[in-house]
Amino acid sequence: LGSLISVERAFGFALAILSLLCIFDLRNASYLVFWDSSGPGPSWLPYVTAVILLILALFLIVPRSRTSVLQLGTSPSGTVKYILLVLALAWAFPILGGLVSLCLFVVIEMVWVEKHKWSTSIAVGLVSTVAVWGIFTKLLGVSFPTGPFGI
């Protein structure tokens, strides 16, 4: 397990360096516009992707407890639960609306699969739904299917 962690950390450092190089290169590429009056420019998606990769690289670099990572998705019942949740999400998306379905998915996944408390699951579900709404609806102008609640 010690060598696995060092390999993960080495990969994390390599990914962080690559992400930082991409961010630096995109910031200095004056011909690639990040944002203009019509919305995101051609460098927006690569820049955001590089930032997300940098954040994920930090998760690989920083030492953490390995129990939750080793337990998730290793049992057949966990995999079946995820498949059922994704099918339920696909079914509920046009009926309940996109945002309500995503919130329910996060809450149920955290309670049923990851065994978190209801209060934590509801808080994370609401915060993640508001973040998705803010990014897609407000920032990018993408509308979600609305359900009977108008959400």
SS3 sequence of 37-79: CCEECCCHHHHHHHHHHHHHHHHHHCCCCCHHHHHCCCCHHHH
Q: Comparing 40 with 71, which gets the higher pLDDT?
A: 40
CA distance 52 to 149: 32
pLDDT confidence of 66, banded at 50, 70, 90? low
CA distance 43 to 25: 10
Lowest mean pLDDT among 5-19, 38-52, 55-69: 55-69
Mean pLDDT of 18-44: 81
pLDDT recorded at residue 6: 63
CA–CA distances in Å: residue 133 to residues 127, 137, 138, 145, 151: 10, 5, 7, 12, 10
Residue type, 93: F
Q: Give the Cβ contact number of residue 98 at 10 Å.
A: 23
pLDDT recorded at residue 94: 83
Let me know if 19 is exposed, middle or buried by CB neighbors in 10 A (0-12, 13-18, 19+): buried
Lowest mean pLDDT among 8-12, 63-67, 76-80, 114-118: 63-67
